[in-house]
Amino acid sequence: MQKRNFIKAVALSAIAVAAGQSLAQDNTFKIGLILPMTGQQATTGRQIEAAAKLYMAQNGDTVAGKKIQLIVKDDTSIPDVTKRLAQELVVNDKVNVLAGFGITPSALATASIATQSKTPQVVMAAATSSITEASPYIVRTSFTLPQASVALADWAPKNGIKKVVTLVSDYGPGIDAEKFFKERMLFNGGTIVDSLRVPLRNPDFAPFLQKVRDLKPDALFVFVPSGAGAAVMKQFLERGMDKAGIKLIGTGDVTDDDQLNDMGEGALGVVTSHHYSTAHPSATNKKFVDAFTKANPGLRPNFMAVGGYDGMRVIYEALRATKGQGGGDALLAAMKGQIFESPRGPMFIDAQTRDVVQNIYLRKVERKDGQLYNIEFDVVKDVKDPGKSR
Ligand code: DHB
């Protein structure tokens, strides 16, 4: 036990020393981008890496006299691996910023490294409300599940959906989605008939969907992480749930733009709430989508891509504001309060919570120019994470 503590102490002091040294580094500015590039969450990694590279291609790789170096590492979405990679990036590579984090457990596993080494940790994907509270060095450019879920629970009862069954992946973001959707539905006079949770790893939705069919709610509310939506949609349709009069609703993770176009006719009409759609009608987004698809033929940018793209923007602007001279604390201070127009719409990094404040859109799957898109039809402006106000 003592030996282990000693080793831990040595490792921690190595992290602290490395943090000090990075100040005296040469003219490179290193971003350690840790993503799931293989395994179940690989689409998240592919999207974010492509978006980060696009941002660099568009904005150059020199900022405030520093040459930006992007170091991409594959954590296979295993939190222990994320943590080890983060430690190596800080101690050996002396990165100035840690970024990425495809799933909540990976973001949480890294928080202590960010705190110990005073390295800003830019969370570009993971979306459990509490993540930003795990370290004062965490800044988020993705979204939170409470943010997305509450808007849908306000829309549903006004649109004939009173009785709902919830079905979520059984971990942080799913539990947030379930809780905040349910509370707001009850507040609005709706009923939650049952709340079902499926495992994150290798989920089999069949027995859960059978149960939902028997319960016959007006709608099934779903949260599954990016990449799992197509499987839910397929099994929902195969079981004829739509024909049985059960609507599918959820946060936009389920009609993920990365997969939506292959989901087929059955996806038409599905209503979701989210912070980003590839079809968001703004000049800034059109430019982003055109450049992204040109650089990555066959790939549409989804909400993960936009989290990565905006995360790079936050890092670049912090480096520019600190004139390339700042350490972790100065960079962090320059990330707080940033306000800008993202492809998703206006967004800012709340200086107090270090979390993103943004519009949440209600969208419906429609066919446009022969392709399926999440078409926005309503918006709730400047939504703060409801998970923070309690
Ligand atoms: C998380 C992962 C996702 O792929 C997603 O769509 C939302 C949240 C997460 O693990 O936090």
The answer, yes or no, to whether any atom of ligand 1 lies below 6 A from the CB of 123, is: no
131 lines ligand 1 (CB under 6 A): no
Convert the pLDDT of each residue in 174-202 to its tens digit: 999 999 999 999 999 999 999 999 999 98
Whole-angstrom Cα distance, residue 106 to residue 257? 23
Q: Calculate the CA 273 to chain-centre distance.
A: 14
- Residue 363 sits at φ, ψ, to 5 deg, of -135, 155
318 Cβ contact partners less than 8 Å away, ≥ 6 residues apart: 120, 326, 331, 332, 334, 335, 338
Query: How far apart are the C-alpha atoms of 163 and 165, rounded to whole Å?
Result: 7
What is the model's pTM?
0.94
Percentage with pLDDT > 70 across the chain:
93
What string of DSSP letters covers 221-287? EEE--TT-HHHHHHHHHHTTTTTTTPEEEEETTTT-TTTGGGS-GGGTT-EEEES--TT--SHHHHH
Residue type, 71: I
Residue 303 has what pLDDT?
98
pLDDT at 12 over 80: no
| 19 band by pLDDT with thresholds 50, 70 and 90 | low
pLDDT value of residue 364? 98
Q: Given the CA of residue 228, which atom of ligand 1 is nearest to it?
A: 4
Contact 319/99 with Cβ under 8 angstroms?
A: no
Amino acid (1-letter code) at residue 330: A
Residue 82 token pair:
């994320």
Which residues, including other chains, have CB under 8 Å from residue 316's CB and lie 6 or more apart?
A: 55, 59, 63, 68
Burial class for 92, CB neighbours closer than 10 Å (0-12, 13-18, 19+): exposed
What tokens appear for 148 in the block?
A: 């997305």
For residue 25, pLDDT beyond 60: no
Per-residue pLDDT for 36 more than 80? yes
Token representation of residue 177 = 């989605």
User: What per-residue confidence (pLDDT) applies to 26?
Assistant: 77
Cα(34) to centroid of ligand 1, in Å? 15
What spacing in Å lies between the alpha carbon of 176 and ligand 1's midpoint?
Answer: 11
Nearest residue by C-alpha to atom 7 in ligand 1:
225
190: three-class secondary structure by DSSP: coil
Question: Closest ligand 1 atom to the C-alpha of 251?
Answer: 6
pLDDT over 70 (residue 6): no
- What is the pLDDT confidence band of residue 285, given thresholds at 50, 70 and 90? very high
Going by their DSSP bridges, the two strands 97-100 and 28-35 should be labelled as parallel
Beta strands 163-169 and 191-198 are: parallel
**Which tens digit of pLDDT belongs to each residue from 219-253?**
999 999 999 999 999 999 999 999 999 999 999 99
For the segment 292-308, the average pLDDT, to the nearest whole number, is: 98
Q: Please, which pLDDT band fits residue 17 given cuts at 50, 70 and 90?
A: low
Hey, what's the torsion of the CAs at 331, 333, 334, 339, to 10 degrees?
140
Closest by CA position to 213, among listed 252, 169, 175, 165: 165
Whether pLDDT at 121 is above 80: yes
Residue 8 has pLDDT above 70, yes or no: no
Tell me which long-range contacts 229-234 makes (C-beta under 8 A, separation of at least 24): 229/253, 229/254, 229/255, 229/256, 229/259, 229/260, 229/263, 230/256, 230/259, 230/262, 230/263, 231/203, 231/205, 232/167, 232/205, 233/263, 233/266, 233/267, 233/270, 234/263
Report the C-alpha gap between 5 and 72 in whole angstroms: 31
Structure tokens at 327: 């350490």
- Whose tokens are 């222990």? That residue is 80
pLDDT band at 213 (very low <50, low <70, confident <90, very high): very high
Ligand 1 within 6 A of 128 CB? yes
- What local confidence, expressed as pLDDT, does residue 18 receive? 54
| Other Cβ atoms within 10 Å of 298 Cβ, number | 5
First and final C-alpha spacing in the chain:
39
Tell me how crowded residue 352 is: count the other CB atoms within 10 A of its CB. Answer: 9
Cβ(126) – ligand 1 distance below 6 Å: yes
pLDDT at residue 10 tops 90: no
* pLDDT at res. 1: 43
For ligand 1, atom 10: residue with the closest CA: 103
Residue 314 CA to ligand 1 center (angstroms) comes to 20
**Cβ–Cβ contacts within 10 Å for residue 122, how many?**
31
SS3 207: helix
